[in-house]
Amino acid sequence: MTNDVLPAARAGLHRPVRVRRARPEDADALGALVADVYVRDGLVPPTSPYVAELRDAARRVAQAHVLVATVPGEGGAEEVVGTITLAPAGTPFAEIARDGEVELRMLAVRHDARGRGVAAELVRAALAEGAATGARGAVLTTLEAMRTAQRLYERLGWVRTPERDWAVGALPMLVYTWDVPATPGARTEAATWPPVRVERVGPWHVGLSHGFTQRANSVLPLGVPDDLAAAVNAVEALYAAAGQPAVFRVGDPGAAPGLGVELDARGYDAGSVTDVLVRPDVAAGAPVALPPGVALAVADAPDDAWLGTWVASKGGRQDVGRRILTGAPAAYLTATDGGGAPLAIVRAAVADGWAALSCLQVAPAARRQGLGRALTVAAIEAAADRGASRAFLQVEVENGEARALYAGLGFVPAHRYAYRRQPTGGDAGTC
Ligand SMILES: CC(C)(COP(=O)(O)OP(=O)(O)OC[C@H]1O[C@@H](n2cnc3c(N)ncnc32)[C@H](O)[C@@H]1OP(=O)(O)O)[C@@H](O)C(=O)NCCC(=O)NCCS
């Protein structure tokens, strides 16, 4: 699974920040940036041999995962303003990572780009990458002098772990760790979005819902079939009979190891990449007020206005949409203006103690007024009233606006998967 662009739109920035994987051609600019930042901040003496290592970004790009934060520069060309390096345990740049951990190193933001949340976006993107590669936790080392960075890590949920502190000569190295939170898992996720029909192919669940949403029209490859190629053939036959392309959800633990290679060989597309974000508790935070003149209604079933708003954005059959949604207990929230017209909707289903948030939509003319945030908070509360103790949601990696909203509400990356589609055309839509 590859995805090159990890957008990180930030409010308050006159130039939006994007985070993406570094390419070999970024190496010179990156190396200069990191060496300059560390020397100018007084973290490394200019004569230290470590400066040459900081400058050698080409080796890092080749041997580790390096992310860069960029802003649009003169004439539209992008300008690199920050970077971070991820080193999974056992790889050349990992100094202290243990099995199952990814180590974050060499975080640096150019001086003229500071104070705008670039470092937070880099760390969040690094955690999402780490979770995507199946890491169970992350670890990093800081120096006493890196106080600003330490405040940032603590704000993002990192925990000081003094028992793992170490030293370089007489210089103390302070260690922080971060645990990837538990995920609901594909079965619980599916229970909150049940397909109209599920067929079994060995251990796999084949969802069929007249093509309405990828989630309800894809295979959960839960386990390893006896004959992988024969199982994929059987799946393709089921979808062909329904007049749809086959779609597989890939990236979950326990799925057949050779599935990705098999789908590559059959020409399946690289897939839309989705992160599962988790909020480990539903405790009420600071109250979030609705904008003036906006009313909020909470119901146990979607009314026609709610459903019409949602289905209109997907372009499918309303009866199928209703059937999928009402297959699981859920709260449906609608924000309306003074005249009763819907401005925003969201759904909070509940399964296995999890709140599953979905279908958040704010009318374009009503955006950036706090409605998305207020509805998300209200949906979590509605799910808590219905028995949920933690929350999750799925968001495409490219949806920078929504990711920024959720990050601000304490959602953190826990898992990543992709939907891979048979090359026969058709658009099942996503939510
Ligand atoms: C994502 C979406 C729901 C946000 O709704 P909204 O009402 O505009 O969001 P809010 O005004 O409550 O903004 C809350 C935070 O989200 C982030 N955000 C929202 N829109 C943003 C944008 N265009 N650029 C950068 N950040 C943005 C900011 O962090 C913002 O906080 P701030 O205003 O204090 O900086 C809206 O853009 C939308 O409906 N998008 C299409 C549907 C969608 O993507 N749904 C989510 C599916 S998972």
Give the pLDDT band of residue 424 (cuts 50, 70, 90).
confident
Ligand 1 centre distance from Cα of residue 343 (Å):
14
Ligand 1 centre distance from Cα of residue 368 (Å):
6
Give the pLDDT band of residue 14 (cuts 50, 70, 90).
low
Give the pLDDT band of residue 314 (cuts 50, 70, 90).
confident
Q: Whose CA is nearest to atom 30 of ligand 1?
A: 405
Ligand 1 centre distance from Cα of residue 360 (Å):
10
Q: What integer pLDDT is reported at residue 426 of this predicted model?
A: 45
pLDDT for residue 182 is more than 60: yes
Per-residue pLDDT tens digits for 86-144: 999 999 999 999 999 999 999 999 999 998 899 999 999 999 999 988 899 999 999 99
pLDDT for residue 233 is more than 80: yes
Give the pLDDT band of residue 163 (cuts 50, 70, 90).
very high
- Which ligand 1 atom sits closest to the C-alpha of 371? 7
Ligand 1 centre distance from Cα of residue 279 (Å):
18
Does the beta carbon of 408 lie inside 6 Å of ligand 1?
A: yes
Q: What integer pLDDT is reported at residue 207 of this predicted model?
A: 98
| pLDDT, average across residues 31-44 | 94
Does the beta carbon of 229 lie inside 6 Å of ligand 1?
A: no
Question: Does residue 3 or residue 270 have the better pLDDT?
Answer: 270
| pLDDT, average across residues 256-283 | 92
Q: What integer pLDDT is reported at residue 206 of this predicted model?
A: 98
Per-residue pLDDT tens digits for 235-262: 999 999 999 999 999 998 888 889 999 9
Q: What integer pLDDT is reported at residue 253 of this predicted model?
A: 82
Q: What integer pLDDT is reported at residue 124 of this predicted model?
A: 94
Per-residue pLDDT tens digits for 129-150: 999 888 999 999 999 988 989 9
Domains in the chain with CATH codes: 5-179 (3.40.630.30), 194-267 (no CATH), 279-419 (3.40.630.30)
pLDDT for residue 220 is more than 50: yes
Q: What integer pLDDT is reported at residue 11 of this predicted model?
A: 33
Q: Ligand 1, from 358, 399, 405: best to mutate by most atoms within 8 Å of Cβ? A: 405
Q: Ligand 1, from 367, 369, 375, 399: best to mutate by most atoms within 8 Å of Cβ? A: 367
pLDDT for residue 217 is more than 70: yes
Q: What integer pLDDT is reported at residue 174 of this predicted model?
A: 97
Token pair 């859920």: residue:
330
Q: What integer pLDDT is reported at residue 74 of this predicted model?
A: 78
Provide the mean pLDDT of the chain.
91
Least confident range from 67-71, 186-190, 312-316, 420-424: namely 312-316
| pLDDT, average across residues 180-202 | 95
| pLDDT, average across residues 173-179 | 97
Q: What integer pLDDT is reported at residue 73 of this predicted model?
A: 81
Q: What integer pLDDT is reported at residue 400 of this predicted model?
A: 86
Q: What integer pLDDT is reported at residue 321 of this predicted model?
A: 92
Stated pTM of the model: 0.89
Q: What integer pLDDT is reported at residue 256 of this predicted model?
A: 84
Does the beta carbon of 430 lie inside 6 Å of ligand 1?
A: no
Does the beta carbon of 346 lie inside 6 Å of ligand 1?
A: no
Ligand 1 centre distance from Cα of residue 16 (Å):
14
pLDDT for residue 427 is more than 80: no
pLDDT for residue 66 is more than 90: yes
